[in-house]
Amino acid sequence: MKEPFSGMYAALMSAMDDAGNLDLNRQRDLTDYVLKQGLRGLYVGGSSGESGLLETAALLEQQGVVAECARGTDHKLIAHVGVPALADSITLAKSAKKNGYDALSALPPHSYPFSDAEIYGYYQELAAATDLPLIVYEIPFRTGRPLPLDLLVRILDLPNVAGIKFTSNDLFKLSQLRRRRPEKLYFFGSDEIFLGAASLGADGGIGTTYNLFGKLYAALFAAVTAKDLARAQPLQTISQEYVEILMETGVLPGMKASFRLLGIECGPTRAPMAAKVPDVEARLKPFLARDDVKPWLSV
């Protein structure tokens, strides 16, 4: 299971029209750009795609368009289907199966303070809804609490659960999971410290900034695989410098402004999400124009 899926995946952004609705033509342009960057695949319909602000119908449309764009390539497609209602998650999962996706993923339910038993039950039903491998998710800053280690191990043991997307700075917990279930897949989700997780054995990464800097992250993964720390460190530094700016601007508003500066229109973020500052493009432009950054932005 590990080898076919190992590598780096862009957590694909959603392209909107000027009114903030999903724009399928812009989505095609964005997807085509990301597919040219040498990544292992795409993670579709997640937080980076503003899924918490999109209707299920829009997420179903997006799944289909992305599948069309990737058809005939060797990219792996992982559909994120973790939305508040389990019934909608299952609808999205079955659609992904029909559209030829290779795997599923889902945030744990977090609309209410769910118990460990309720979270386990959610993943149990979702994993049984199709025969696609399921990548579960640990992301405490989004859910409001870290899931207990024992619960994550129990979830990893469910049929069809292939691994976890781990978006947390608790690298000790990541190591504990890997020691307990070494046969599972471990994707890391904090772009700016991927190198730390990779040194502890992460099988790949799934990240927002991979949309723009996919070439850089593919090179970072190659350097890690080759145990070339001298090559990996400066790549991670560029990633960190970019993330620092995005923290000032707002991550997704900053990402979309970055694409606009490259001539690729992704539209606005969907309300109520908004930029943190009025001068987003002005803050990004000098960084994107740097001589050590520009080579990573061409495809």
Does residue 261 lie within any of the structural domains?
A: no
With CA atoms as reference, report the closest residue to 178 among 205, 160, 197. 197
CB–CB of 173/150 below 8 Å? Answer: no
97 in active site: no
Q: Which own/partner contact pairs does 183-190 have at CB distance under 8 Å and 24+ positions apart?
A: 183/1, 183/2, 184/156, 185/1, 185/2, 185/5, 185/6, 185/135, 187/9, 187/135, 187/163, 189/11, 189/139, 189/165
Q: What's the pLDDT at 1? A: 58
98 in active site: no
Q: Which helix (H) or strand (E) holds 186?
A: strand 185-188
CB–CB of 63/97 below 8 Å? Answer: no
Does residue 64 lie within any of the structural domains?
A: yes
Enclosing domain of residue 120: 2-228
- CA 79 → CA 23, 93, 230, 278, distances in Å? 19, 7, 34, 33
Structure tokens at 138: 């640990």
Q: Given the residues 76, 165, 173, 184, select the one marked as catalytic.
A: 165
Question: Taking the chain (299 residues) in consecutive chunks of 10 residues, what is each chunk's mean pLDDT?
Answer: 88 98 98 98 98 97 98 97 96 98 96 94 98 97 91 98 97 98 98 97 98 98 97 98 98 98 97 97 98 92
- DSSP 8-state code for residue 75: -
Domain count, the chain: 1
Report the alpha-carbon distance of residue 105 to residue 103 in Å, rounded.
Answer: 7
Q: Which residues sit opposite 80 in a β-bridge? A: 105
Does residue 58 lie within any of the structural domains?
A: yes
Which phi and psi angles does 185 have, rounded to 5°?
A: -85, 140
Does residue 264 lie within any of the structural domains?
A: no
Does residue 252 lie within any of the structural domains?
A: no
CB–CB of 263/247 below 8 Å? Answer: no
Does residue 272 lie within any of the structural domains?
A: no
With CA atoms as reference, report the closest residue to 77 among 88, 89, 63, 90. 63
Q: pLDDT (tens digit, 9 = 90+) per residue, 100-137?
A: 999 999 999 988 999 999 999 999 999 999 999 999 99
Nearby residues of 254 by Cβ (< 8 Å), 6 or more positions away: 245, 246, 248, 275, 280, 283, 284
The label of the residue with tokens 């599948």 reads 67
Report the alpha-carbon distance of residue 23 to residue 10 in Å, rounded.
Answer: 19
Does residue 85 lie within any of the structural domains?
A: yes
Report the alpha-carbon distance of residue 230 to residue 224 in Å, rounded.
Answer: 10
CATH number, residue 25: 3.20.20.70
Q: Given the residues 101, 137, 186, 217, select the one marked as catalytic.
A: 137
Does residue 293 lie within any of the structural domains?
A: no
